[in-house]
Amino acid sequence: MNFLPTNKKEIKNKGLKQVDFVIVTGDAYVDHPSFGTSLIARYLESFNYTCAILAQPNFNDDHSIMQCGCPRLAFLVSSGNIDSIVNNYYTSKQKRKQDVYSLNNKGHKRPDYATSVYTKMIRKTYGDIPIIIGGIEASLRRLAHYDFLQDKLLPSILLTSSADLLVYGMGERAIIEIADYLNSGLNIKDLTFIKGTAYQTKDISLLDDYLMLPSFSAIKKDKKSFQDSFIKQYHNNENQSAHMLIEPYQDTYIVQNIPQPILNTIELDHLYDLNFTYESYDEYHHKGTITALKEIKFSININRGCNGGCHFCAITFHQGKQISMRSKASCLKEAQKMQSLKDFKGYIHDVGGPTANFNDEMCAKLNKYGSCSDKECLGFKICPNLKITHEKYFDILRSLRTLNGIKKVFVRSGIRYDYLLKDDPKYIEELIKYHISGQLRLAPEHCANHVLRLMNKPSISYYDKFVEIYHKINQQLGLKQFVVPYLMSSHPGSRIEDAIALMNYLKKINYKPLQVSDFMPSPSTLSTLMYYTQIDPFTNKNIYVAKSSEEKRTQQALLQYHLPKNQKIIQEILSKYPVYKKIK
């Protein structure tokens, strides 16, 4: 298969003495468009740049960083598809033993703070070679941020990694600009003007039209100062409305240029039409499998961005709220390509993205001016200016399911049921009739409305109404299909009383969850800001935050009330809150 080279021998076999870029990643090498490493590599390849993939170098051996040799232009470094701390730890701060992005789920293949570790290995070995960091870890840690493992604010990853340049967000536009300038002979230190990048400098005298953020020393001393800084960042995250941001440190500055424009439909189509093999690297095949590939191999990603605005989700800060969407022709072409893969059985496992039923026509104001600073598109309530439209999405689904060789097209991405409820009921019926695999996964997250407001999730009444309609339509169609709700314990604002209320709600709807997500304060989300400051940034009121391991375990146990191991904890809690004993 036509994989990119992964070592010096394979580079030589390609007829090359040296590649333009070596891309270092904390994931195993999977040549699929859902893996950011391969997406960037194939995109560079389409512009005639050569790349090698250095996957999961041994971080205990500096020589492992030399596997592909020294690139002609730069090293590109990423932790992989997930922030390494989020990937490596449970919310209890216990180390995970498994990693779905590694061969056979083997854990401990990527270091903590992987981007910084890899960058330091490169710098130690190759000296002053240009190093550019990107991906989710670099993007969410581009400015000062709260780190839950160390339970403190950390400086920009540019300071801890010794990288020359940081690409944030979806980096295709920026990386091609950088490649072209480096190829023309410009020094990496002079590339301070590219949108969607951040860099370190000691001199800002020539910069203008920027917002000065509070200094790192100020935000460490005062949580309110950190809150003010983050809200400024949150409101400067779209190309149309953003200002340059500058964060001062003791003797240097981090400068964040304004974001790149999102890719348009033509550009997205080009991206997904590149020469992906949809396979894990050949050398893995006789050794095992990559679980993360199995989950998404036969899925079609049709959109980017999300204006749902869930406060615990990193997509807002990484991909942004503006939605770009592929054409129907591009999606059909990918489905036809899947049919040539030897293990394709006729089933497309998912058609969606960050939120499946969102599209690029939802808000003309968002697309033209950027997001509003005083309100959300969706959340506890839906903005009245939001356009309710599903026809484009369902047109793609209809066309896919009528292709020869396609047996079934499933929708397993997140669906915003509050948004779907506002449209013609025919779309709910069509979804149920053709695109559910026995169960539909939804994310109400909680039932207490004051917690949902802090999450920026819809009122539980929307979920109840949707489920009622869902069951009614299934009954009419003679189908036995279920709803699986995703739930979250210990989100900021959730008290023991709220966890008990959610337990009783689950009893009422007769649902016994096997899995519950315990809130993890990942870098650069509004929920993490609330966790650290214990303040609602929109009202400036104090909020309750469950921080002790004991209480977090208790809230999670209450949601899994049916498990024998949790009965003792639940009885102890209910003895302290006797009013809840009467609730059935």
Q: What is the pLDDT of residue 581?
A: 53
Which residues lie across from 133 on neighbouring strands?
Answer: 77, 166
Mean predicted confidence (pLDDT) in 543-569? 95
pLDDT band at 580 (very low <50, low <70, confident <90, very high): low
- Distance in angstroms (rounded) separating the CA atoms of residues 345 and 405: 9
Q: Is 512 exposed, middle or buried (0-12, 13-18, 19+ CB in 10 A)?
A: exposed
Cβ atoms < 10 Å from Cβ of 288: 13
Q: What is the pLDDT of residue 579?
A: 61
Place of tokens 């999450």: 455
What is the model's pTM?
0.95
Q: What is the pLDDT of residue 30?
A: 96
Q: What is the pLDDT of residue 32?
A: 96
- Distance in angstroms (rounded) separating the CA atoms of residues 99 and 172: 26
Q: What is the average pLDDT score of the chain? A: 94
Q: What is the pLDDT of residue 387?
A: 93
Q: 350-352 and 299-301 as β-strands: parallel, antiparallel, unpaired?
A: parallel
- Distance in angstroms (rounded) separating the CA atoms of residues 407 and 554: 44
Please report, to the nearest 10 degrees, the dihedral formed by the alpha carbons of residues 29, 30, 34, 39 taken in order.
60
- Distance in angstroms (rounded) separating the CA atoms of residues 116 and 407: 45
- Which domains does the chain possess? 8-197 (3.40.50.280), 298-437 (3.30.750.210), 479-584 (no CATH)
Find the helix packing angle between 36-46 and 172-183, rounded to 10°.
50
Closest by CA position to 320, among listed 183, 140, 446: 140
DSSP E strands in 39-90: the ranges are 51-55, 74-78
- 53-76 per-position pLDDT tens digit: 999 999 999 999 999 999 999 999
- Distance in angstroms (rounded) separating the CA atoms of residues 120 and 114: 10
- 3-class DSSP state for residue 333? helix
Cβ–Cβ < 8 Å for 361, 422: no
Q: Is the dihedral of CA 256, 261, 266, 268 positive or negative?
A: positive
Q: What is the pLDDT of residue 582?
A: 47
- 471-492 per-position pLDDT tens digit: 999 999 999 999 999 999 999 9
pLDDT band at 496 (very low <50, low <70, confident <90, very high): very high
pLDDT band at 583 (very low <50, low <70, confident <90, very high): very low
Mean predicted confidence (pLDDT) in 453-468? 96
Q: What is the pLDDT of residue 375?
A: 80
Cβ–Cβ < 8 Å for 479, 406: no
- 173-220 per-position pLDDT tens digit: 999 999 999 999 999 999 999 999 999 999 999 999 999 999 999 999
> What H or E segment, with its residue span, contains residue 129?
none
| Rg, C-alpha atoms of the chain | 24
Interacting residues of 186 by C-beta distance below 8 A, sequence separation 6+: none
Closest by CA position to 444, among listed 487, 411, 482: 487
Please report which residue ranges of 184-264 form alpha helices under DSSP H: 216-221, 223-234
- 3-class DSSP state for residue 248? strand
Q: What is the pLDDT of residue 61?
A: 95
Which residues lie across from 59 on neighbouring strands?
Answer: none
> What H or E segment, with its residue span, contains residue 441?
strand 439-445
pLDDT band at 246 (very low <50, low <70, confident <90, very high): very high
Which residues lie across from 488 on neighbouring strands?
Answer: 517
Cβ–Cβ < 8 Å for 201, 252: yes
How is residue 417 written in tokens? 């049921």
- Distance in angstroms (rounded) separating the CA atoms of residues 584 and 571: 14
- 7-45 per-position pLDDT tens digit: 999 999 999 999 999 999 999 999 999 999 999 999 999
Lowest mean pLDDT among 154-158, 241-245, 280-284, 349-353: 280-284
pLDDT of 310 over the 90 cut: yes
- Distance in angstroms (rounded) separating the CA atoms of residues 454 and 538: 9
What percentage of residues in the chain have a pLDDT greater than 70?
Answer: 99
Place of tokens 């333009």: 20
The length of the chain, given as a count of residues: 584
Eight-state DSSP code of residue 265: H
